[in-house]
Amino acid sequence: MANPKAMTTFNENGASRIADLTQAEVEALWIMEEMTTFTHEIHRARGWWTKLVKNDGVFPEEDDSAYIEEDLGCDYQIGERPAGSKSIGDIISLIHSEVSEAYEAHRTNMPDKNLPEYLGIEVELADAIIRILDAAGGLNLRVAEAMIFKLKFNKERADHSKAARLAEHGKKS
């Protein structure tokens, strides 16, 4: 198995943090990176990444050029967007909408209308993951790597222990 391609963070000694991972964590990271690439390639081929707005007010102009699939060749003000374009905010909103749809699917407890062999909540959560992976691929974000290290961090957090959660003022969610 190849080393994960996104491993670009380093520990305090300047070594790649890949050395901090178990074999199972490296394999999970590799699989998640492959799923990110697979998901994003499908969406790019289907035309989902043709007009990403240059600056939606979140990234400084000089920092967001890497996020552009197509140079739109026009000047516009924040709030004025070319037809058919989307922003980072749109991408995040679409992820949020899938999570909201998952809650509604849970509330109704019905099978999905397009994939009836699955519950609606299963499909909507899958849609949220698909959108997250696509965003990670399209925006060159290290979400898979961040997820592995966030899980490792959470595993050792005192406030994430069972005892801490059961305490009177413990973290409940």
Instruction: Write down the pTM of the prediction.
Output: 0.76
Q: What's the total number of domains in the chain?
A: 1
Q: Is residue 37 part of a domain?
A: no
Q: Is residue 21 part of a domain?
A: no
Q: Is residue 166 part of a domain?
A: no
Q: Is residue 173 part of a domain?
A: no
pLDDT for 63 equals 47
pLDDT for 15 equals 59
pLDDT for 55 equals 54
User: What is the residue range of 128's domain?
Assistant: 43-153
pLDDT for 103 equals 97
- State which residues of the chain have pLDDT below 50: 1-4, 6, 59-69, 71-77
Interval 44-76: pLDDT, tens: 888 888 777 655 555 444 444 444 445 444 444
CA 113 to chain centre: 25
pLDDT for 48 equals 84
pLDDT for 125 equals 98
